[in-house]
Homo-oligomer: A and B are copies of this chain.
Amino acid sequence: MRFAARLICLLAAVAALPAQAYDILQPLPERVYVPAHNPQTPDKIALGAQLFFDARLSYDGRVRCNDCHDLMAGGESKGRTPAARPRLERDPPTLWNVAVQTVYFWDGRAPSLEGALREHLLDGRIMAFPDEAAVARRLATLPGYPERFQAVFGEAPDAQRASEALAAFIRTLLTPDSPFDRYVRGEKDAISPQAKRGLKVFDDLGCLSCHFGPNFAGPAPGPAIGPGEGFYELFPNHPGTEYDARYGIALDPGRERVTGDPGHRRMWRVPTLRNIALTAPYFHNGSVDSLEEAIRVMAKTQLRAELDEDTVADIAAFLRTLTGRRPQLPLPQLPVEDGRVAPLSR
Contacts and interface: CB of A to CB of B under 8 A. Distances in A.
Contact of A83 (B79, B84, B338, B342): B84
Contact of A78 (B276, B326, B341): B341
Given A316-B339, A339-B290, A339-B320, A72 B281 contact: no
Given A53-B72, A334-B73, A338-B277, A62 B83 contact: yes
A331 B280 contact: no
A292 interface: yes
Which residue, A71, A84, A276, A336, has most C-beta atoms of chain B within 10 A?
A336
Contact of A74 (B277, B280, B336): B336
A72 B333 contact: yes
Contacts of A291: 339-340
Contacts of A54: 72
A54 B73 CA distance: 10
A125 to B, nearest CB: 14
A78 B334 CA distance: 13
Contact of A340 (B70, B82, B83, B280): B280
A278 B339 CA distance: 6
A336 to B, nearest CB: 5
Given A292-B339, A316-B339, A331 B72 contact: yes
A333 B339 contact: no
B329 A330 contact: yes
Interface of A: 53-55, 61-62, 70-74, 78-80, 82-84, 276-278, 280-281, 289-292, 316, 319-320, 326, 328-334, 336-342
17 contacts: A62-B80, A71-B331, A72-B332, A72-B334, A78-B341, A83-B83, A83-B84, A277-B336, A277-B339, A280-B337, A290-B340, A326-B333, A328-B333, A329-B330, A330-B330, A330-B331, A331-B331
Given A72-B331, A276-B339, A289-B340, 14 more contacts: A53-B72, A61-B80, A62-B83, A78-B341, A83-B84, A277-B336, A277-B339, A280-B339, A280-B340, A289-B341, A316-B339, A328-B330, A329-B330, A330-B330
